[in-house]
Amino acid sequence: MLTQTKTAPEAVTETRSNSIAFYDFHPQFDSMLSEVWQGLSETPKKIHPKFFYDARGSQLFDQICQLDEYYPTRTEVAILEKYKQEIAELAGEYAALIEMGSGSSHKIRILLDAMQPAAYLPLDISRDHLISSSQRLAEEYPWLDVHAACIDYSTAWKLPYRAEKGQKVAFFPGSSIGNFDPEDAHNLLKEIAQLVGPKGNLIIGVDRVKDKNILEAAYNDHSGITAQFNLNLLQRINEELDANFDLNNFSHKAFFNTELNRIEMHLTSNIPQYIKVAGKTFFFEQDETLHTESSYKYSIENFTQLALNAGFKCKQIWSDEKDWFSVYFLQVN
Ligand SMILES: C[S@@+](CC[C@H](N)C(=O)[O-])C[C@H]1O[C@@H](n2cnc3c(N)ncnc32)[C@H](O)[C@@H]1O
């Protein structure tokens, strides 16, 4: 659940290098520990997918984006390439371009020349990856004012930078909205609507419901990179929360849940086992799973309705020829 009532944390550090301003709202050890303890105490066990993204998790995700089976990245990139001028025209004059979950800031490069933002604000939870990606981008685009912020957008958060007068545009690619259960997705879209303000815009990439085999292949690649990405979560918990997961005793599992229209990623316990995390013990039955990610897939109708309920009207939708992925241009009502 998004905790909307919590007060957003203040930036703990603000750093200005030659190329970027960086604001650190990074979630601390205590909040990660309590969320992991909580998730492992529930039935079924679960851990929030935001914890995938330490430096290695971000690198593995970048590798996933290159895989043959992982169609979402190349499909969304092709849509953005094809329609970037239209996107820029719809955005018109505006003050700041804010990217949610910017990762390696690869997709924004497609839009920058056409959209010419005065300021670009990449927001991501993966601190080191965010800093290096933002610095590389700022070096490539010396005319661009880059304000990067390490935040967790699944909890209360705020922008570190007050955009000058004019509209704000948010960019939320990668179908990351699909990682939220529908109620949380609704709340996050409402927060983005507040962030960009009246008549503000959101450009968002959303994966579509499609053949189960294509979906399942995308999360079960032959080279095993997605499995490594999934298992890296346990490695991270071992390193950061003093846990003793043996990665050989867990297996990657991903399947399409047709009832809920979502891919589910799990880690299955291969044996009965006790695991310690920062002094607290948890028992896994043989074949018990730890739910690590959901990735909801949306029809155009369902996503348009979700956006409408959150206060956005849909100005344009672009899709690929196979109708596998869509990019929406939304405007706050
Ligand atoms: C699926 S990847 C998408 C990356 C990139 N936007 C793309 O389209 O390829 C999700 C990105 O969102 C970031 N992320 C995940 N959960 C987050 C959270 N709760 N708050 C901020 N960033 C988050 C991850 O670090 C990662 O870079």
Alpha helices in 92-181 (DSSP H): 108-115, 127-140
pLDDT in tens, 222-254: 999 999 999 999 999 999 999 999 999 999 999
Fill in the amino acid letter for 248.
N
Atom of ligand 1 minimally distant from the CA of 173: 8
pLDDT at 283: 98
Superfamily holding 67-211+297-332: Vaccinia Virus protein VP39 (3.40.50.150)
DSSP assignment letter at 231 = H
> Given a cut of 60, is residue 4 above it in pLDDT?
no
Q: Give the closest residue to 263 by CA, choosing from 69, 121, 23.
A: 69
**H/E element holding 330?**
strand 325-332
153 CA → ligand 1 middle, Å: 9
> Given a cut of 60, is residue 311 above it in pLDDT?
yes
User: Burial, 182: exposed, middle or buried (Cβ in 10 Å; 0-12, 13-18, 19+)?
Assistant: middle
CA 239/CA 233 separation, integer angstroms = 10
| pLDDT grade for 30, boundaries at 50, 70 and 90 | confident
pLDDT at 152: 92
pTM recorded for the entire structure: 0.95
For a mutational test of ligand 1's pocket, the pick from 125, 225, 297, i.e. the residue with the most ligand atoms closer than 8 A to its C-beta, is 125
Rounded to an integer, the average pLDDT of 170-183 is 98
179 CA → ligand 1 middle, Å: 10
Cα 208 from chain centroid (whole Å): 16
Is 250 within 8 Å of 268 (Cβ atoms)?
A: yes
CA 109/CA 137 separation, integer angstroms = 8
| pLDDT grade for 160, boundaries at 50, 70 and 90 | confident
For ligand 1, atom 11: residue with the closest CA: 101
pLDDT in tens, 8-21: 566 656 677 768 99
Residue 282 backbone dihedrals phi, psi, to 5 degrees: -130, 140
Residue 327: partners with Cβ closer than 8 Å, 6 or more residues away: 76, 79, 80, 83, 87, 173, 203, 204, 205, 206, 317, 318, 319
Sketch the domain layout of the chain as residue ranges.
67-211+297-332
| pLDDT grade for 83, boundaries at 50, 70 and 90 | very high
User: Which residues have any ligand 1 atom within 6 Å of their CB?
Assistant: 50, 53, 58, 61, 65, 73, 101-103, 107, 124-126, 151-154, 173-174, 176
| pLDDT grade for 5, boundaries at 50, 70 and 90 | very low
